Amino acid sequence: MVKATKIRYQILFLIFVNVVINYMDRSNLAVAASEISKEFKFSSVQMGLIFSAFSWTYLLFQIPGGILVNRFSPRILYTFSLITWSLATIVQGFAKGFVTLFGLRMATGAFEAPAFPINNRVVSNWFPDNERASAIAVYTSGQFLGLAFLMPVLSKIQFHVGWKGLFVVTGLIGVLWGIVWYIFYRDPLKHPKANEAELKLIESGGGLMDGKSIADADSKKKFKWADLNEVLSHRKLWGIYIGQFAVNSTLWFFLTWFPKYLVDYRGLDFIKSGYWASIPYLAAFAGVLCSGFLSDYLIKKGVSAAKARKRPIIIGLLVSVFILGANFVDTPGLIIFFMSLSFFGVGFASITWIFVSSLAPKHLINITGGVFNFIGQLSGIVVPIAIGFLASGGNFAPALIFIAILGLMGACSYIFLVGNVERIKSNN
C-alpha cells in the first residue's frame, strides 16, 4: 500500500508565511504611530482615522474578493495580491501628510482583500474535514506568532532607519515572498509531488479539490445576486458574522492602538514597549493552537460539532472581556497580564473560519467567506475610530470598556444564533 504524501503541510507553511506578512503590513503603522503623529502633529482622532483607512477598502473589496477567488487560481491571485499590497506599503514610507498616508493605507487594504478568502479556499481544497480546524488554527496563528517576534524587530528597524525605512523594509519582504509563492504553490490536482494516496485521503475526507468536487463545478458559475441574498438570509450565518466582528474588534485594538497605548497612555519606553507588546501575541498564538487542535481532537473522539467547534469560540470571547482588568492596575507586568489573558481568549476563539466551511451551502462557501470577512472587517473601521474619540480626552479606560462589551456580544451571538452545527441547505 502506497503511503500518502504530506504535501498539504508544505502548502500550509506557505499560507502561514503569507499570513505573517499580511499582518506585518497591517501592524507596521501601529509601531510607527507615535513617531508619525509627532512628525505630522496628528490628533488621536486623526490617528484613529488613519488606523481605519486600511479597513475601508479591505471591507469594500471583501465580496468582490470572494468572487475573484472563484475565478482565478490561488497561485495567480495571491501572487498579485502579495506584490501589489507590498508595493503600496513601500510607498507609505514617502507619505507627506494625512491625505497621502490615508490613501496609501486604503490601497494596502484593497490589495489585501482577497487574502483570507484565498486561505479558506486553499485549506478547503487541500485538507479533509477532520484536519481543517487544525490547519486553520496553524495559518491563523501566523498573525499572532509572527507579530510576537516581529514587534521587537519592527521597533528595532524603526529605531535604526526611522518610520519611513520601516515601511520600505517590510514592503520589500512582501514583494520577494510573492515571487516565492508563485514558484511553489499548486492546486492539489496540479501539484507534481502530491501522490494519488494523498489526493484520495483529501477527497474522501471532504476536501473540495478543484476539478473533482461538485462545489468546484458550481463555483465556476457566474455570480448571481440571489447567491448573495441567500448568504445574508440565514440566522446561523449571521451568528458567525457577528461573532467575527467581535473577535476582530479586540484584534484590531492590538493591531492599531496597542503600541501607542503602551507608549503614550502608559508611559513605557518605545524600545521596551516592543518587547512588552510581543507577550500578548504569544498568548494569542497559544490560544489559537490550543483551540484548533483541541477542537479536532474532540471531533475525532466523537464529540458533537456543536460542542467541539462552538465552545472554544464562546469561551475565548468571554475570556477576551478580561481586557477590562488593565483599567484597574498600573504596573507594566499586570497591564500586560490582562492584555495577554484577553488576547489568549481572542486566539482561542479564532477558529471561526471553520464555520464558513461547515455551515455554508457547498457552492456558496467562497461568497460566504467574503461576507463573513466583510462584516468582520467592519470592526477595522469602527474600533480604531471609536477608540480615537473615546481616548481623545487622555483617558483610555472607556476604550477598553468598549472592547470588552463587543467581546461579550460575540459570545452571545454564538450561544443564541448559531444553534446546531450543520450545513445549510441551499434555497437555490
Grid cell, residue 51, equals 488606523
Give the model's pLDDT for residue 1.
66
Q: When comparing pLDDT for 63 and 56, which is higher?
A: 56
Of the candidates 63, 422, 62, 56, the one whose C-alpha atom is nearest the C-alpha of residue 228 is 63
Confidence of residue 221 (pLDDT cuts 50, 70, 90): low
Grid cell, residue 137, equals 488554527
Alpha-carbon torsion 132, 66, 366, 125, what sign? negative
Give the model's pLDDT for residue 117.
84
Confidence of residue 212 (pLDDT cuts 50, 70, 90): very low
Contact 58, 380 (CB under 8 A): yes
Give the model's pLDDT for residue 232.
86
The maximal CA–CA distance of the chain, rounded, in angstroms, is 69
Cβ within 8 Å of residue 176, ≥6 positions away: none
What region, left, alpha or beta, does residue 196 occupy, with left being phi > 0 and alpha being psi -120 to 50 degrees? alpha
Burial (0-12, 13-18, 19+ Cβ within 10 Å), 46: middle
Of the candidates 292, 289, 251, 240, the one whose C-alpha atom is nearest the C-alpha of residue 411 is 240
Contact 79, 26 (CB under 8 A): no
CA angle 228, 85, 245 (to 5 degrees): 45
Contact 54, 106 (CB under 8 A): yes
DSSP string over 250-302: HHHHHHHTHHHIIIIIS---HHHHHHHHHHHHHHHHHHHHHHHHHHHHHHHTT
Q: What is the CA radius of gyration of the chain?
A: 21
Residue 177: inside a domain, yes or no?
yes
Cβ within 8 Å of residue 157, ≥6 positions away: 165, 166, 169
Looking at the predicted structure, is the pLDDT value of residue 205 above 80? no
Cβ within 8 Å of residue 135, ≥6 positions away: 8, 12, 123, 126, 127, 292
CATH of the domain at 356: 1.20.1250.20
Residue 1: inside a domain, yes or no?
no
Contact 363, 218 (CB under 8 A): yes
For the stretch 270-282, pLDDT in tens is 566 677 778 898 8
DSSP 94: T
Residue 428: inside a domain, yes or no?
no
Confidence of residue 85 (pLDDT cuts 50, 70, 90): very high
Of the candidates 360, 370, 6, the one whose C-alpha atom is nearest the C-alpha of residue 188 is 6
Looking at the predicted structure, is the pLDDT value of residue 25 above 80? yes
Contact 148, 278 (CB under 8 A): yes
Looking at the predicted structure, is the pLDDT value of residue 283 above 80? yes
Confidence of residue 288 (pLDDT cuts 50, 70, 90): confident
Q: When comparing pLDDT for 343 and 304, which is higher?
A: 343
For the stretch 114-130, pLDDT in tens is 898 899 889 988 888 87
Whole-angstrom distance between the N-terminal and C-terminal Cα of the chain?
42
Residue 2: inside a domain, yes or no?
no
Confidence of residue 219 (pLDDT cuts 50, 70, 90): very low
Residue 310: inside a domain, yes or no?
yes
Give the model's pLDDT for residue 50.
94
CA distances (Å), 267 to each of 83, 330, 331, in order? 37, 10, 11
Residue 252: inside a domain, yes or no?
yes
Enclosing domain of residue 48: 7-207+214-418
For the stretch 166-204, pLDDT in tens is 999 999 999 999 999 999 999 888 898 989 888 888 888
Residue 423: inside a domain, yes or no?
no
Cβ within 8 Å of residue 423, ≥6 positions away: 358, 359, 360, 361, 362
Give the model's pLDDT for residue 428.
62
Looking at the predicted structure, is the pLDDT value of residue 215 above 50? no
Across 79-95, average pLDDT: 95
Cβ within 8 Å of residue 96, ≥6 positions away: none
Q: Total structural domains in the chain?
A: 1
d(CA 94, CA 87): 12
Q: Which of 99-103, 276-280, 405-409, 414-418 has the lowest mean pLDDT?
A: 276-280
Across 279-293, average pLDDT: 85
Contact 243, 313 (CB under 8 A): yes
Q: When comparing pLDDT for 132 and 214, which is higher?
A: 132
d(CA 119, CA 296): 19
Alpha-carbon torsion 33, 38, 43, 49, what sign? negative
C-alpha atoms less than 13 angstroms from C-alpha of 271 in its C-beta half-sphere: 5
Alpha-carbon torsion 111, 113, 114, 120, what sign? positive
- Average confidence score pLDDT of the chain: 86
Across 14-38, average pLDDT: 91
d(CA 123, CA 11): 9
Q: How many of the other CB atoms lie within 10 Å of CB of 331?
A: 9
For the stretch 330-373, pLDDT in tens is 888 899 999 999 999 998 998 787 788 778 877 777 788 878 87
Dihedrals phi, psi of 239, to nearest 5 degrees: -60, -45
Across 206-219, average pLDDT: 53
Residue 250: inside a domain, yes or no?
yes
Give the model's pLDDT for residue 272.
67
d(CA 170, CA 158): 11
Q: Which of 66-70, 304-308, 384-388 has the lowest mean pLDDT?
A: 304-308
